[in-house]
Every structure is written in C-alpha cells, then in structure tokens.
C-alpha cells in the first residue's frame, strides 16, 4: 500500500514538472484531436467548416500536417462571399468542422419499439377473437412482438437514413463540468 502511494506521488510530481502544455489535445499536427479529425474525414466527400471567414463547404477535405486541405470551397449560404481561403487551412484558424450524418440508428430503435408494441397488441386482440382461450401464451406474445419489431426497425432505419443533419466533429465538445450541476 505504501509503495503504491509513493509511486502515485512520484508520477504526480513528474507530471506537474513537465508543465501544463504537455496535455493539451489541439497543439500540433500529431495531437489526438487532429488524428481524430483525420479519421472522421477519411472517406467523406463534403464537410462544412467555420472560421473567421464564415462558413464554407469543402469538397474532398483531408487533414495533413499543414492543415485542412480541400479540392474546392464554396460558401455555405448562397450569395455570400467568403473570399479566398488558403489551401490548406491551418487548423488554428478553424472554429468548427461538421459532417453530414443521418438518424438511421435512432429511428431503427424507435421503429422497432413501435412495431413490437403493434405486434404485441395485435397478438392480444387476435387471441381474443380467434379462440376460446382469452389470453395467448408467452411464446405467441413474443412471436407477435418480434414479427412487428423487425419490419418496424427496418422501416425506421429507412426513414432515418433519409433525414440528414450536420454533426459537429471538431473541436469535440468538452465533457460537462460536474461542478456546474
């Protein structure tokens, strides 16, 4: 126990001696935030980038050591003028990067739940109409719920994939401060 405390103290002192700059995530081309952005933009053909110039849509964006390279840039709002942008844009000048995402996963869950509820209700009603036994067995109820959940999830995913929105990927939002509650 005492050796653990001594080791923990020594590591804490070594970390403090290294200075505050060693743990910032956005300091340079090899930082974690830059690598995360590189990974998220790897196969994207479009990104919306904001900075002091306003908002632009970049086609074929790529993260390099020099910054954010792109094939072409156009203003996000039709008729607005952002002026010429450097290519690559230094990441220090970028306020935010967004990519298009869809709601397929969330809508699949919602559709599956709604479909399961409809299947369960249908099973309950059909058992009262069809037979002398007023309540269905557990297997029949489960089968009815599953038979409704599967097409409900598929329909929900299909509808959710059609609904697109911009999702912020850089800089990532900091985790909420627990002391602010």
Listed by start position, the domains of the chain span 25-102, 104-162
Residues linked to residue 98 through DSSP beta bridges, in sequence order: 48, 168
Q: What share of the chain is helix, strand, coil (3-state, %, to 5)?
A: 50, 20, 30
SS3 100: strand
The angle formed by the CA atoms of residues 39, 41 and 47, to the nearest 5 degrees, is: 160
C-beta separation of 41 from 63 below 8 A: yes
Q: For 37-52, write each residue's pLDDT tens digit.
A: 887 888 888 888 888 8
Cβ neighbours of residue 139 closer than 8 Å, sequence gap 6 or more: none
Q: For 64-114, write each residue's pLDDT tens digit.
A: 888 888 888 888 776 666 677 888 888 888 888 888 888 899 999 999 999
């Amino acid at each position: 126990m005492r050796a653990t405390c001594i080791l923990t103290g020594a590591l804490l002192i070594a970390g403090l001696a290294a200075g505050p700059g060693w743990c910032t995530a956005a300091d340079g081309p090899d930082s974690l935030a830059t690598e995360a952005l590189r990974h998220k933009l790897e196969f994207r053909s479009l990104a919306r980038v904001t900075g002091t110039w306003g908002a632009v849509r970049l086609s074929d964006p790529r993260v390099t050591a020099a910054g954010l390279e792109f094939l072409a840039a156009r203003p996000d709002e039709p008729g607005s003028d952002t002026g010429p942008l450097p290519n690559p844009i230094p990441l220090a000048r970028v306020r935010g990067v967004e990519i298009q995402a869809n709601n397929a996963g969330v809508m699949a869950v919602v559709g599956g739940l709604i479909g399961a509820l409809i299947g369960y209700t249908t099973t309950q009603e059909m058992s009262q109409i069809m037979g002398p036994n007023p309540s269905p067995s557990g297997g029949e109820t489960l089968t009815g719920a599953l038979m409704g959940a599967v097409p409900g999830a598929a329909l929900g995913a299909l509808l959710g994939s059609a609904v697109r929105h911009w999702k912020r990927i850089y800089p990532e939002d900091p985790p909420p401060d627990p002391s602010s509650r």
